[in-house]
Every structure is written in C-alpha cells, then in structure tokens.
Chain A
Amino acid sequence: MNLRISRRAALLGLGTLPLATPAFAQGAPIKVGVLHSLSGTMAISETALRDTVLMMLEWQNSQGGIGGRRLEAVVVDPASNWPLFAEKARELLQVHRVDVSFGCWTSVSRKSVLPVYEELNGLLFYPVQYEGEEESRNIFYTGAAPNQQAIPAVEYLLGPDGGEAQRIVLLGTDYVYPRTTNRILRGFLNSKGITNADIMEEYTPFGHSDWQGIVARVKRFAGEGKKTAIVSTINGDANVPFYRELGNQGIKAEDIPCVAFSVGEEELAGIDTRPLVGHLAAWNYFMSVDAPANRDFVGMWRNYIKNPRRVTNDPMEATLIGFKMWAQAVAKAGTTSVDAVRTAMIGQKVAAPSGYESEMKANHHLTKPVMIGEIQADGQFSIVSKTPTAIAAENWSPFIPENANRRRG
C-alpha cells in the first residue's frame, strides 16, 4: 500500500514534465472512487449506481483496462449523511488518491463535496438530473439540467396529451434540488399564464411517511374546478409511502396526473404499481427504450447482477455514459491527470442506451433526449413522448434572474 502511494506520488511529480503515452506501461492501477450512499434514506436509489460503476469497471478491465492499466475501485459509504459525503470525498482524494470519482445523488450531497473536489482538484462524475445553477471545472454533470427534464415535463402536462392542466401542485422533499427546481418551474408556469393562486407548493422532510394530510389537501386543491396535476420532486424512500397513499386515496392518473422527477424503475420495484398506471415520470432514458444499445445495457446489467429481473434506470444510464466518456478521454489524453482529462472530455461522444448520441459540451453537461413515460402495471414505463433529437443543457436557467448573466451564448 505504502509502496503504491509513493509510486503514484512519483508519477504525479513527473506529471508536470511532458509525459509520453508509455507512462501507461508503468502499469499502476487506475483508481476509481465510488461515493454513493449504501445505507440510509437514499440507499434505495444509490446502491444500484455503485453496482453500475463496478460493472463498468469490470467490463473495462475485460477490455484490457485503459492503455494497458487496470482499473481498481475504491468504494466508500457516506450513509445518506451530507457532511459525511465531504469527509468521504476527502478520504477518496487524499488517502486513496483516486484518479476519478463517480458519486452523489442528492444535490445537497453534491454541494457538500464540491468544495472538496475544487480544493484538491479532483474529478467527479455526477449522474443524476438536478436543478442546475451550477458549473464546476471539477464536476461533469451527466444527468439532466432543468431544461432537459423538468420544464419539458411540465410543458407536457399543460399540453393536450398531458390533460391541459391549469393548476399545478409542487410537492418536494425539503432541500436544495426541489426548492430550486420549483422556483424555476414557478417562473416557467407564470410565463405560461398560470398565476401563483393556481400553484400549491409543499415540502416534507427526507424519509417522510405520513402523507395522508398532504394527499387529502391535494385532492381538495384539485377540486376547485380546474384540471390539476402534481409535479413531484420527492426523493428517496419517501416515495414508497407517497405512492401508496395516492393509490389508497384513489387518485387516478386520469383525474390528477402526477409527474415525478426522481422516480424510476428502481424506485418502483418496491411498489404495487397497478393503482398507479398512467402517472408519469420524465427522464432521458427508460428501460423500455427499444434500441440495440439498450438491449446490450440491460443484458449486461442482468448478467452482472446475476438477477434476470433487475431493472435499469436513467441515473444508471448516465453513470454508464459518464464512465465511457471518461475512459475515452483518458485514452485520448494518454494520462489520468485531471487537467488533461478535463480538456479531453469536452466533445466526447457516446452512443447512449437511450438510442441517441450524447455529447459532452463545454459547460460540462451532456446533450440528452427528453422522454416522458407513463407507469405501467408491471413497473415499467410506456414512453408517451420524446424529443426528436438530443438537446443541449441550459444549466443556468432563464427563470432564475440573478444567474442569467452567467449563461453562455
């Protein structure tokens, strides 16, 4: 262990010299950090992401690693505890000296580790859709920005296929992602002529389980004579009792459709979805996508996890895209040095399981297609709307006025 670290330290020291590709031949393994919660309220969502990174790592090693160097995983458990995320990130970068990390789900955890990655010049791939209003040279965002998920989803609800909603309920878990997203959505809805009187906004703590009052209030809000829809930014395992309550109180998708931004196939795996048919989710990928790249992905995942019934979801796909892009960038740069990889990342393209080609843009965000799916009785999504092409991310939203000047072009 000591020997390996000192060898890496030596390599780092040489990093300032013009180093040719044969540096790979040294054969020291490339270290890949995995920073996902394996316990606590977010484990329901994040455990599968750890497995996805490990699967991709195994696959890359079976291809001979990158430039002849093997990949090695360092897995830590930040336990859904936001300050612990920062400590574990520091541990990954300073003790384990990882070359790259894949991690975080909630925005609060990303905000917690961001200063650490910037201070120590690390590299983090963040695979989940988020609220935007952020751009770090040390983070690559492979999930969707609001214009690639939240806004098109609400636009769908307002359109003829979504039921022409005139009132919107914004339900969320109480932290930065739902609050910022809902602020953007409120701006968007106002611009579409929906006044604040027709918007209800409520927040609950992480892991909230008593939804009866809120669901009853939503029902009452919807009973004011205007077509109503729910936009849910509820995160983590609170979704299970929430959907159970929706089903128990008989809220049908035909009456009050609910579109969720953090509920995918993995979260639905623990719920009886028959009462929920027709409720929606917006993502950039669904397991039900009919594309050869997706069939490979699903097959590879089920093979790796040794369970023919396991599901794939959007953040897993985003992890896969990020991993492949990073591997391509390392191969192109000929080194794992963060600065070189960062430059090589821009413009990388991957044929994604979504059936579209994703490209990394200069703002560290991907181009992605937007898909809207309806929940089916078998826990899968039926895709009812998708954009014809992958669209570029606007990480600085026009609906947040104070950050509008930071937008590029």
Chain B
Amino acid sequence: MNRLIRWLLLLLLLAALPARAQDFDALVSGLAGGFAQQAEAVERLGSLGDPRALPLLRALSESRLMRAEGGGVRVAPNGATPSGPEVIRINNRVRVALRGALGRLQLVSPDPAERLVAADGLLRARSAEDIPLLETALARESVPRIRDRMDLALGAARLGSSDPAVRREGVAALGATASPEARAVLLSALGTDEELAPAVDAAVAAIDRRLALRHAAETAFQGLSLGSVLLLAALGLAVTFGVMGVINMAHGEFVMLGAYTTVVVQEALRASPTLAPWSLPLAIPAAFLVTAAVGAAMERGLIRHLYGRPLETLLLTFGVGMVLQQVVRLVFGAQNREVISPPWMQGTLALPFDVTVTQNRAWIILFSLAVLACTFAAMRLTRFGLEMRAVVQNRRIAATMGIRTGRVDALTFAFGSGIAGLAGVALSQIDNVSPNLGTGYIIDSFMVVVFGGVGSLLGTLIGAFTLGVMNKLLEPWAGAVLAKVAVLVGIMLFIQRRPKGLFALKGRAAES
C-alpha cells in the first residue's frame, strides 16, 4: 500500500512537469562535461524529478558512470570499480550538487537509510523549491530519526523562501532544535536578512543553551579519553615502579612492543577470513604474554642484580629501552606500520542527547577500565597478589613464611610489563606504530604515577583522569602545546606541596 502511494506520488510529480525528453538527454550528456557544466546538469536533473536520473546520478557519485562512445554515458554495474579515462570524474562542487539532487530524488525512496541521506542532502541544499516536496514527505514519514532530519531540512528550506512569514516559520522551527547544523543555517541567514535578525539571534541563543551541555559532555569525553590513554600507559608503571620501586625507563618500549605484537598478529591472521576480524581481541593476550616474557627476562637477567640502587637501575633500563628500539627498527624497519581498525572501532557513536563520541576512543576508555579492574583483582584477590603485597611490605618476614621472594619479584615485573603491552594494543589504534612510540608516553606515565601517589592503583586512576580532563579543558584556551606545558607546571607545584602525590601508601617504596 505504502509503496503504491510512493509510486503515485512520483507519477504526480512527473505529470506536473511538462514533457522534457530532449531536455533530459541534453542534461545527461552534460554529466560528462567540465566540472561547472556537470554541477549545473546535476542540479537541473535533480529539480526535473525524472526517476530515470536517479541511477545515473547515483552512478556518478560512486564513480561508476562512464563516457560511452558517441557522446552519451553508460552505467557500470553496481559494485564495480571501473578505471581508466572513460570513468567520469567529479569534484567537490559536483559532489555538493549531487547531494542536493539525490536528496530530491530519494526522498520518497522505500529504503529508510536512503531517505535519511536524502533529508541530509536537502538540509545542506537549503532551497525554497524543496518546501512542497519536504512537506509531503514529512506527512508520510514514520521513522522519528528521519522526521527530525526532515524537520530540520524543511526549516532550512523555509529560510530560503521569499515570503517573510514563511522565513519566520523556518526560524521558529530551527530554533526549537538542539542541532549545531540548525545553528549554522540560522547564522548564515543572519547576514542576508536584516529584518529577521532579532528572531534569529533569539533562536541561536536558545540552541546555544541546549548545546552548552552537549559541549561540556564532549569535552569531558575527550578528557576521559586522554585520561584512559594515560591510565593504560601508567598502569604497568604503577606496578613496576609503584609497587616494586624499580625505575623502569624501558617502560615505553614495552608499550611499543605491545603495539608491534598487534601488528604481527594482524599480519599473521590477515589471510584467514574467519580469524582476521578478531585479530585485535586476539592480539590482547599475545601482547600481554610477549611483553611479560621480555619483562621477566629483563628482571631475572639484569634488574635483580641492581635492587636498591635506583640510579644504576635507571641507567640500565634506559639503555635496555634504546636497545629494544633499535632491535625493533632493525626487524620491522624505521617506517610506521599500518594497523587496521576493525569496523566496530570506526566512526562515531551517538549517545543520548545527541552527544557523539568516536568509537575507537570509547572502546579504549572501556578497555582501560577493564585492565584496571583486572589489575586490581590480580593484586587483591589472588594468591600471587597476596604474596606480592607481602614481599612489598616486608621481604624478610615474607621469606620466612615460605614465599619465594625472587620468583615473586620476577612475576610482579612480568605482570607490570604485560600491562604495558596491553597499553600498546590500545595505542596502536590511535597513534602511529613506530619504534619511537614509547618515548612519547614514558614522561606522561611517570607523571601520572607520581601525581597519583606511588604505589596506589586508585591514585593512578584518579591521577590519569584528572590530568586528561585538565589538559582538555586548557587546550581550547592555550592550544595543544601550551596546555601540556601548563599541566606539567601544575604538577611541579603540586609535588612541592604533596611530595607523595594524591594517595600516599606505606610499604617498601614509601620507606626508601
């Protein structure tokens, strides 16, 4: 039934227009012309309302429209990716025109996704000619999301009308939304229409009030996202430095090793169609095991000989870090490695109140909290965690109770290194995987651990998120470079007042 109405509507549209067969053919051949000619042909085809234009325009936008011999055009089959000089190329100007034209033609499409795109296209085209079209489409639309879009598009179209009353109606409709697009449309009308200026100003102010909350939410999200990255980078250090008191300058390189493990796992699984989409989750245990093994080897082979000598440990781990960097450079090359993001980590995620956040960042926040929870559980709920805390509090008594303190040391260091490897998996999604990856995070990690309080997981959590949010709050005022400087200065002053950080702990680290 619905479908029938749609066809009837189309027929009505067609009947309303005079027969313009030659016109149509002339316009179609214009699609193969220069960019300016193309844009004009697209626009006129869109307003002609001839359904024959739809497949042509769609093909043009997907670069499937080809020049045929003898001056016409032909369409390559759906899904094909033709190449060569016959393919008709477009530029941004034509793309903008296409969006409007396709919007007009697809507004009555049976596919809701197409109708949404169409409404979007008309919103950007902002032409008063579309008012009747939008009104009829709106009357029959049942999907709320598309209705909202169409309302916006209708408001924008009304703003382009020559009748002041209609324009006023448009301003009122747009002012009732909480959409940045409506705000942009209103502001662009401000320059052209003196008479409406007070109404527009009021509408913009109303939208701004509704948007203020959303902006705050988005800034908070960005801060949390940066905080989660800092948390991931610092968690491993909170174990090795915070609990064991080892100043591990090679910590950043463990993060880098984790990122390279992700690359290796992805490349190994690329050929397998069943496992390839899962390569990122599969890289998580792999990265943990690889970096934990390297960490254990380093602790048993080198660091344990230097316990109680912080300066030597610092120099040694610094050297190990450089060795690891060069080894990776030799094995993988100095060039950055490409990491593929799975589809579920791309694009944006719409939260309630139209707050949009990027998928990859949202996942990393969740991941960092999960890693924190696991670390906490391992330290508080397992036998290994109990032994670890016992050794930290009093090594001698722990040893007399039958705890093999050397083994516990090795396991603790391996555990901290493994967490650094997990950070590497997450960072491979947002940063460049290069041998220098770790150097950018080592300062930040120490900063978080010292700020939060050495040895306290809760301190690390709160420290990381505080620094992240502070950085993002300062960034709009000071710029990315100065914001970071300001945060560093702030920490220096804070450490002067509270040398033990936010949450001071008792234990071996605290005594020394």
Contacts and interface: CB of A to CB of B under 8 A. Distances in A.
Interface string B326-342: 00010000111010010
A207 interface: yes
Interface in B408-457: 430-432, 434-436, 440
A242 to B, nearest CB: 11
A225 B184 contact: yes
B188 A225 contact: yes
Interface stretch (A246-254, A328-336, A353-361): A246-254
Interface in A183-208: 202-205, 207-208
Contacts of B361: 212
Contact of B481 (A44, A161, A174): A174
A333 B356 CA distance: 64
Contacts of A219: 180
B472 interface: yes
B115 interface: no
B117 to A, nearest CB: 12
A270 B338 contact: yes
Contact of A225 (B186, B358, B431, B440): B186
Contact of B480 (A205, A226, A245): A205
A209 B188 CA distance: 33
A257 B436 CA distance: 31
Contacts of A134: none
B180 A223 contact: yes
A161 B92 contact: yes
B406 interface: no
B184 A248 contact: no
Contacts of B440: 207, 209
Given A226-B188, A237-B336, A213 B472 contact: yes
A108 to B, nearest CB: 15
A254 B95 contact: yes
B358 A47 contact: no
B187 interface: yes
Interface in A266-307: 270, 272, 278, 280, 290
Given A161-B93, A253-B92, A270-B338, A205 B358 contact: no
Interface in B179-194: 180-181, 183-191
B91 A384 contact: yes
B218 interface: yes
A18 interface: no
A224 B183 CA distance: 7
Nearest to A245: B358
A135 interface: no
B226 interface: yes
B346 interface: yes
A214 B480 contact: yes
Interface stretch (A33-41, A58-66, A124-132, A316-324): A33-41
A209 B93 contact: no
Given A225-B189, A382-B89, A254 B124 contact: yes
B431 A241 contact: yes
B318 interface: no
Most buried by A among B92, B335, B347: B92
B51 interface: no
Contact of A241 (B181, B329, B430, B481): B430
Contact of A254 (B36, B85, B92, B430): B92
Contacts of B188: 225-226
Contacts of B359: 248
A208 B431 CA distance: 9
A225 B185 contact: yes
A270 B360 CA distance: 18
Given A204-B481, A208-B480, A247 B346 contact: yes
Interface in A228-248: 237, 240-241, 244-245, 247-248
A235 to B, nearest CB: 13
B476 interface: yes
A160 B36 contact: yes
Contacts of A174: 481
B475 A213 contact: yes
A374 B92 contact: yes
B291 interface: no
A172 to B, nearest CB: 11
A216 B334 CA distance: 32
Contacts of B338: 270
B476 A241 contact: no
Contact of B432 (A207, A214, A223): A207
A154 to B, nearest CB: 15
A41 B358 CA distance: 25
A158 to B, nearest CB: 13
Contacts of B436: 39-41, 207
A247 B186 CA distance: 26
A101 to B, nearest CB: 20
A254 B334 contact: no
Contacts of B336: 43-44, 237, 240, 270
B167 interface: no
Contacts of B36: 160-161
A249 B358 contact: yes
A162 interface: yes
Contacts of A209: 430-432, 440
A212 B225 contact: yes
B382 interface: no
A213 B93 CA distance: 28
A407 interface: no
Given A205-B481, A254-B99, A384 B35 contact: yes
A150 B393 CA distance: 63
B348 interface: yes
Interface string A323-365: 0000000000000000000000000000000000000000000
Given A163-B93, A213-B222, A241-B430, 20 more contacts: A160-B93, A161-B93, A162-B93, A202-B479, A204-B481, A205-B480, A209-B431, A210-B226, A210-B430, A213-B219, A213-B476, A222-B184, A223-B181, A225-B187, A225-B188, A240-B336, A248-B360, A250-B348, A254-B124, A278-B92
Complex A-B, nearest 8 residue pairs according to Cβ-Cβ distance, in ascending order: A225-B187, A225-B188, A39-B334, A209-B431, A248-B358, A223-B184, A384-B91, A237-B432
16 contacts: A41-B434, A43-B334, A43-B434, A44-B336, A202-B479, A212-B225, A223-B180, A224-B184, A225-B189, A241-B431, A244-B430, A248-B358, A255-B124, A272-B341, A278-B91, A290-B85
Interface of B: 35-36, 63, 85, 89, 91-93, 95-96, 99, 124, 180-181, 183-191, 215, 218-219, 222, 225-226, 229, 329, 334-336, 338, 341, 346-348, 356, 358-361, 430-432, 434-436, 440, 472, 475-476, 479-481, 484
Interface of A: 38-41, 43-44, 47, 160-163, 174, 202-205, 207-210, 212-214, 216-217, 219-220, 222-226, 237, 240-241, 244-245, 247-250, 253-255, 257, 270, 272, 278, 280, 290, 374, 377, 382, 384
